Chains A and B, each alone.
Chain A
Protein backbone atom coordinates (compact mmCIF):
# COMPACT_ATOMS: atom_id res chain seq x y z
CA UNK A 1 0.00 0.00 0.00
CA UNK A 2 1.13 3.55 -0.64
CA UNK A 3 2.90 5.32 2.21
CA UNK A 4 2.42 8.80 3.54
CA UNK A 5 2.80 11.28 0.69
CA UNK A 6 3.96 14.82 1.26
CA UNK A 7 4.03 17.51 -1.39
CA UNK A 8 5.95 19.39 -2.48
CA UNK A 9 9.30 17.76 -1.66
CA UNK A 10 11.21 21.02 -1.76
CA UNK A 11 10.13 24.64 -1.52
CA UNK A 12 11.97 27.96 -1.51
CA UNK A 13 10.08 31.01 -0.29
CA UNK A 14 10.90 34.60 0.55
CA UNK A 15 10.49 36.14 4.00
CA UNK A 16 6.98 37.46 4.50
CA UNK A 17 5.36 35.04 2.08
CA UNK A 18 3.03 32.25 3.08
CA UNK A 19 3.22 28.57 2.26
CA UNK A 20 0.89 25.56 2.22
CA UNK A 21 2.18 22.02 2.60
CA UNK A 22 0.15 18.91 1.90
CA UNK A 23 0.06 15.46 3.45
CA UNK A 24 -1.87 12.44 2.19
CA UNK A 25 -1.98 9.72 4.85
CA UNK A 26 -1.95 5.99 4.26
CA UNK A 27 -5.34 4.88 3.02
CA UNK A 28 -7.63 4.28 5.97
CA UNK A 29 -5.52 6.26 8.43
CA UNK A 30 -7.55 8.95 10.14
CA UNK A 31 -4.95 10.47 12.44
CA UNK A 32 -2.42 12.92 11.01
CA UNK A 33 0.20 14.87 12.88
CA UNK A 34 2.85 17.37 11.79
CA UNK A 35 6.39 17.92 13.03
CA UNK A 36 9.08 20.48 12.33
CA UNK A 37 12.68 19.24 12.22
CA UNK A 38 15.64 21.62 12.46
CA UNK A 39 19.29 20.94 13.31
CA UNK A 40 19.07 23.03 16.46
CA UNK A 41 15.72 21.96 17.89
CA UNK A 42 15.30 18.48 16.49
CA UNK A 43 11.80 17.18 15.86
CA UNK A 44 9.07 19.30 17.41
CA UNK A 45 5.36 18.61 17.45
CA UNK A 46 3.20 21.09 15.56
CA UNK A 47 -0.34 19.69 15.65
CA UNK A 48 -2.48 16.60 15.37
CA UNK A 49 -5.75 16.03 13.54
CA UNK A 50 -8.28 13.25 13.82
CA UNK A 51 -11.50 13.14 11.83
CA UNK A 52 -11.10 16.77 10.73
CA UNK A 53 -10.64 18.02 14.32
CA UNK A 54 -7.44 19.46 15.75
CA UNK A 55 -6.83 17.54 18.96
CA UNK A 56 -3.41 18.80 19.99
CA UNK A 57 -1.25 21.78 19.24
CA UNK A 58 2.42 22.33 19.98
CA UNK A 59 4.13 25.49 21.15
CA UNK A 60 4.29 27.31 17.84
CA UNK A 61 3.05 30.82 17.03
CA UNK A 62 -0.33 31.39 15.44
CA UNK A 63 1.36 31.80 12.04
CA UNK A 64 1.35 28.01 11.93
CA UNK A 65 -2.04 26.52 11.20
CA UNK A 66 -3.48 23.39 9.71
CA UNK A 67 -6.60 21.54 8.73
CA UNK A 68 -7.78 18.10 7.80
CA UNK A 69 -10.28 17.23 5.11
CA UNK A 70 -12.98 14.59 5.11
CA UNK A 71 -10.71 12.22 3.15
CA UNK A 72 -8.11 12.58 5.95
CA UNK A 73 -5.69 14.57 3.78
CA UNK A 74 -4.14 17.37 5.76
CA UNK A 75 -2.58 20.72 4.97
CA UNK A 76 -0.48 23.01 7.07
CA UNK A 77 -0.03 26.68 6.41
CA UNK A 78 2.67 29.05 7.56
CA UNK A 79 2.01 32.75 7.07
CA UNK A 80 4.47 35.65 7.17
CA UNK A 81 7.45 33.36 6.78
CA UNK A 82 10.61 34.01 8.79
CA UNK A 83 14.13 32.75 8.14
CA UNK A 84 13.81 30.52 11.21
CA UNK A 85 10.95 28.64 9.61
CA UNK A 86 13.44 26.93 7.31
CA UNK A 87 13.14 23.27 8.23
CA UNK A 88 12.07 19.81 7.22
CA UNK A 89 8.34 19.46 7.83
CA UNK A 90 7.27 15.89 8.48
CA UNK A 91 3.81 14.44 8.54
CA UNK A 92 2.88 11.17 10.25
CA UNK A 93 -0.30 9.16 10.01
CA UNK A 94 -1.78 6.29 11.98
CA UNK A 95 -4.90 4.18 11.84
CA UNK A 96 -5.89 5.19 15.33
CA UNK A 97 -4.12 7.68 17.54
CA UNK A 98 -1.21 6.19 19.39
CA UNK A 99 -0.37 3.19 17.22
CA UNK A 100 1.59 2.53 14.08
CA UNK A 101 2.86 5.98 13.24
CA UNK A 102 4.24 6.17 9.70
CA UNK A 103 6.15 9.23 8.59
CA UNK A 104 6.28 10.76 5.15
CA UNK A 105 9.52 11.89 3.53
CA UNK A 106 8.83 15.48 4.40
CA UNK A 107 8.86 18.85 2.72
CA UNK A 108 12.13 20.76 2.87
CA UNK A 109 11.23 24.45 3.23
CA UNK A 110 13.92 27.07 2.74
CA UNK A 111 13.10 30.69 3.53
CA UNK A 112 15.42 33.28 2.01
Chain B
Protein backbone atom coordinates (compact mmCIF):
# COMPACT_ATOMS: atom_id res chain seq x y z
CA UNK B 1 0.00 0.00 0.00
CA UNK B 2 1.30 3.44 -0.93
CA UNK B 3 2.14 5.44 2.16
CA UNK B 4 3.37 8.94 2.98
CA UNK B 5 4.30 9.77 6.56
CA UNK B 6 4.99 13.23 7.92
CA UNK B 7 6.66 14.20 11.16
CA UNK B 8 6.18 15.80 13.50
CA UNK B 9 2.38 15.93 13.38
CA UNK B 10 2.40 19.14 15.37
CA UNK B 11 5.04 21.75 16.11
CA UNK B 12 4.95 24.97 18.12
CA UNK B 13 7.85 27.40 17.87
CA UNK B 14 8.60 31.06 18.46
CA UNK B 15 8.76 33.66 15.76
CA UNK B 16 12.25 33.79 14.28
CA UNK B 17 13.00 30.11 14.85
CA UNK B 18 13.98 27.76 12.03
CA UNK B 19 11.89 24.63 11.52
CA UNK B 20 12.40 21.42 9.57
CA UNK B 21 9.42 19.33 8.53
CA UNK B 22 9.90 15.74 7.43
CA UNK B 23 8.18 13.57 4.87
CA UNK B 24 9.00 9.93 4.15
CA UNK B 25 7.30 7.74 1.59
CA UNK B 26 6.87 4.17 0.46
CA UNK B 27 5.12 4.10 -2.90
CA UNK B 28 5.11 2.23 -6.16
CA UNK B 29 6.07 4.13 -9.30
CA UNK B 30 7.18 7.43 -7.74
CA UNK B 31 6.96 10.41 -10.06
CA UNK B 32 7.35 13.51 -7.90
CA UNK B 33 6.88 14.89 -4.40
CA UNK B 34 4.92 18.03 -3.68
CA UNK B 35 4.61 20.31 -0.67
CA UNK B 36 1.48 22.33 0.04
CA UNK B 37 0.52 24.89 2.70
CA UNK B 38 -3.05 24.76 3.98
CA UNK B 39 -4.20 27.68 6.10
CA UNK B 40 -7.97 27.45 5.96
CA UNK B 41 -9.29 25.40 3.10
CA UNK B 42 -7.48 25.47 -0.24
CA UNK B 43 -3.99 23.93 -0.09
CA UNK B 44 -1.58 26.25 -1.87
CA UNK B 45 1.34 24.86 -3.85
CA UNK B 46 4.86 25.37 -2.50
CA UNK B 47 7.27 23.03 -4.28
CA UNK B 48 7.45 20.09 -6.63
CA UNK B 49 10.55 17.90 -6.38
CA UNK B 50 11.51 15.31 -8.93
CA UNK B 51 15.26 14.87 -8.66
CA UNK B 52 17.38 13.97 -5.66
CA UNK B 53 19.75 16.47 -4.12
CA UNK B 54 18.48 19.59 -5.88
CA UNK B 55 17.30 22.17 -3.40
CA UNK B 56 14.29 24.24 -4.32
CA UNK B 57 14.04 27.66 -2.67
CA UNK B 58 11.38 30.31 -2.39
CA UNK B 59 12.21 33.11 0.00
CA UNK B 60 12.56 31.66 3.48
CA UNK B 61 11.30 28.24 2.40
CA UNK B 62 13.42 25.51 0.90
CA UNK B 63 13.00 21.82 0.23
CA UNK B 64 15.09 18.90 -0.89
CA UNK B 65 14.39 15.32 -1.92
CA UNK B 66 16.40 12.15 -1.27
CA UNK B 67 15.14 9.41 -3.57
CA UNK B 68 17.57 6.85 -2.21
CA UNK B 69 16.39 7.21 1.39
CA UNK B 70 12.83 8.03 0.29
CA UNK B 71 12.30 11.28 2.14
CA UNK B 72 12.03 15.01 1.77
CA UNK B 73 12.42 17.92 4.15
CA UNK B 74 10.87 21.35 4.14
CA UNK B 75 12.84 24.08 5.91
CA UNK B 76 11.45 27.41 6.99
CA UNK B 77 13.93 29.96 8.32
CA UNK B 78 13.16 33.10 10.35
CA UNK B 79 9.59 31.95 10.88
CA UNK B 80 6.76 34.46 11.04
CA UNK B 81 3.26 34.16 12.49
CA UNK B 82 1.95 34.04 8.93
CA UNK B 83 3.75 30.72 8.47
CA UNK B 84 1.27 29.11 10.88
CA UNK B 85 -0.56 26.48 8.84
CA UNK B 86 -0.79 22.79 8.09
CA UNK B 87 1.99 21.70 5.75
CA UNK B 88 1.09 18.79 3.50
CA UNK B 89 3.44 16.47 1.69
CA UNK B 90 2.11 14.50 -1.28
CA UNK B 91 3.58 12.01 -3.72
CA UNK B 92 2.38 11.85 -7.31
CA UNK B 93 2.11 8.38 -8.76
CA UNK B 94 1.99 7.18 -12.33
CA UNK B 95 3.00 9.29 -15.28
CA UNK B 96 0.09 11.03 -16.90
CA UNK B 97 -2.16 10.76 -13.89
CA UNK B 98 -3.01 13.26 -11.22
CA UNK B 99 -3.38 10.91 -8.25
CA UNK B 100 -1.66 12.30 -5.18
CA UNK B 101 -1.06 10.34 -1.99
CA UNK B 102 -0.95 12.73 0.96
CA UNK B 103 0.67 12.52 4.35
CA UNK B 104 -1.28 13.44 7.48
CA UNK B 105 0.18 16.92 7.52
CA UNK B 106 2.25 18.85 10.07
CA UNK B 107 0.40 21.53 12.00
CA UNK B 108 2.88 24.37 12.52
CA UNK B 109 2.11 27.11 15.03
CA UNK B 110 4.33 30.17 15.26
CA UNK B 111 3.97 32.13 18.48
CA UNK B 112 4.96 35.80 18.54
> Which residues of chain A have a CB within 8 Å of any CB of chain B?
3-4, 31, 33, 35, 42-45, 48, 50, 55-56, 58, 88, 90, 92, 94, 97-106, 108
Contacts and interface: CB of A to CB of B under 8 A. Distances in A.
Interface of B: 31-32, 34, 36, 40-45, 48, 88, 90, 92, 94-105
Nearest to B2: A45
Contact of B98 (A48, A105, A108): A48
B43 A90 contact: yes
12 contacts: A31-B98, A33-B98, A43-B102, A44-B102, A45-B101, A50-B98, A58-B99, A98-B95, A98-B96, A98-B97, A103-B36, A103-B44
Contacts of B105: 42-43
A106 B104 CA distance: 18
Given A42-B103, A98-B31, A92 B41 contact: no
Given A42-B105, A43-B88, A101 B41 contact: no
Given A42-B102, A44-B102, 20 more contacts: A3-B42, A31-B98, A35-B100, A42-B104, A45-B101, A48-B98, A48-B99, A50-B98, A58-B99, A90-B42, A90-B43, A98-B31, A98-B96, A99-B48, A100-B45, A101-B98, A103-B42, A103-B44, A105-B40, A106-B42
